[in-house]
Amino acid sequence: MAQLPILRYPDPRLHKVAKPVEAVDARIKQLVADMLETMYESEGVGLAATQVDVHERLFVMDTSPEHDQPMVFINPQIVARSEELVIWEEGCLSVPQVWDKVTRNARVTVRALDREGAEFDIALDGLAAVCAQHEIDHLDGKVFVEYLSLLKRERIKIKMAKRAREEARGVA
């Protein structure tokens, strides 16, 4: 397994729409393993393939308290959404150290393939529902900061650009 580099906002590659995974083969299984390692090492609860510059419809997540229940979603689609909404303070491995409130559906049902290629449906609520919606947004080329006001987005872009310059100089 290998830890993968995570794209940082406002990298334009984060806005690419991911294509469906054509086959759950050895390459995809290795990508899943690498993404899980990357997510855990980065202390995240979810990671979309788009974030590691692979533009295929795949994400991993683990919202369990002990971080020991990894879930894999290949070619995910939301097939049902609750009318009830929740406001959740979200963060993102592609936008480190930035948190803000986003409104999402309180419950969703996701249909996907697992790491062996078997189709499943799962009803999610709470953090898991928010995480799945956040990661599917990544696969659709959308970053959570796009739910924020234009002013907030511009401030985040400036902050991220400054941080990238500092890291390039070895200041961070």
Q: Which residues are catalytic?
A: 135
Using CA atoms, how far apart are residues 147 and 144, in angstroms rounded to an integer?
Answer: 6
- Sign of the Cα torsion 72, 75, 79, 83 reads positive
**Beta-carbon contacts of residue 138 (< 8 Å; ≥ 6 apart):** 14, 18, 48, 50, 51, 59, 94
**Beta-carbon contacts of residue 167 (< 8 Å; ≥ 6 apart):** none
Residues tagged in the binding site annotation for Fe cation: 92, 134, 138
In this structure, what token pair is assigned to residue 152?
């907030």
